[in-house]
């Protein structure tokens, strides 16, 4: 007498999504352990086999602040709205570094991870998201340095007066991350096909810094270019950060609303281009 045994196989079918704006949030949550491992990998590998290790978190903004203070503060005599120069520059540098790091590292996500993408399936958006989160750790450490310097100058009696706009800081950090994320996704999609653009990214980011109020306040910007500076969605973020922590800076709410709206457009456009390119990027990378 033979007994029939039915075996039910369990398998997952992976199909391409036809919705270009699909963030795959459910899948991202299912792969949260992988996201954590990628963040840890980025954080550890970047400073592995370095002499100073995580101290580079502090060294880079300190030296940049010293250079900016000497060149823009002492030589060029650019005003800082009565705020001590090191504090003024450090606020802009910390914000801009986080945005630019998210942008530049996300912009090469296809090229840098092509071997993994070609062999293993996981939601591809995990890679750029891990970049944003790992850079958030670095930003947090650098901003802690900024707060220490602010406390030092406040004890010395400097004209620093924090305002209620401090409550907006989590939103400002989210906007920085989202802008770097959105711009990076768009550029990653373009550089996948046009490799020459990757050489312009770092140079372009450096130029864009001077179109943002990193080394000068908005009040000191040339009148004929102020409209262009206001078009930069990072400008209100830096201005509101300075106003919240230092009590000096432009805090026009309409500028912040513009930054939020443009950030949403950037993220949607970035996700659209990323989802479109990821379907066949392995053929062109």
**pTM for the full predicted model:** 0.85
Residue the block writes with tokens 């659209």: 272
The pLDDT of residue 120 is above 90: no
Q: How confident is the model at residue 285 (pLDDT cuts 50, 70, 90)?
A: low
Q: pLDDT at position 88, please?
A: 95
The pLDDT of residue 262 is above 90: yes
Per domain, the residue ranges of the chain are: 25-283
Q: pLDDT at position 53, please?
A: 61
pLDDT in tens, 65-96: 999 999 998 898 999 988 999 999 999 999 99
pLDDT in tens, 167-215: 999 999 999 999 999 999 988 888 877 766 777 888 888 889 999 999 9
Q: pLDDT at position 5, please?
A: 44
Rounded mean pLDDT of the chain?
83
Q: pLDDT at position 27, please?
A: 77
Q: pLDDT at position 202, please?
A: 80
């Amino acid at each position: 007498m033979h007994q029939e045994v039915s075996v039910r196989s369990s398998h997952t079918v992976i199909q391409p999504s036809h919705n270009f704006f699909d963030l795959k949030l459910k899948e991202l949550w299912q792969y949260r352990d992988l996201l954590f491992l990628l963040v840890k990998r980025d954080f550890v590998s970047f400073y592995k086999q370095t002499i100073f290790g995580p101290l580079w978190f502090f060294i880079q903004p300190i030296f940049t602040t010293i250079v900016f203070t000497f060149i823009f503060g002492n030589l060029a005599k650019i005003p800082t709205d009565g705020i001590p120069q090191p504090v003024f520059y450090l606020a802009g540098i910390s914000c801009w570094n986080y945005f630019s790091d998210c942008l530049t590292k996300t912009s090469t996500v296809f090229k840098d991870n092509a071997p993994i993408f070609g062999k293993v399936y996981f939601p591809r958006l995990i890679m750029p998201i891990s970049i944003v989160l790992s850079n958030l750790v670095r930003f947090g450490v650098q901003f802690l340095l900024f707060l220490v310097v602010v406390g030092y100058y406040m004890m010395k009696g400097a004209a620093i007066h924090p305002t209620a706009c401090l409550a907006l800081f989590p939103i400002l950090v989210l906007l920085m991350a989202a802008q770097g994320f959105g711009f990076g996704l768009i550029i990653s999609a373009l550089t996948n096909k046009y490799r020459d653009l990757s050489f312009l990214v770092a140079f372009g980011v450096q130029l864009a810094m001077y179109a943002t109020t990193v080394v000068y306040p908005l009040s000191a910007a040339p009148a004929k270019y102020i409209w262009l500076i206001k078009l930069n969605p990072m400008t209100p973020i830096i201005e509101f950060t300075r106003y919240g922590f230092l009590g000096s800076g432009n805090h026009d709410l309409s500028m912040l609303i513009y930054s939020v709206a443009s950030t949403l457009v950037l993220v949607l456009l970035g996700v659209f281009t990323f989802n479109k390119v990821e379907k066949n990027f392995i053929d062109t990378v």
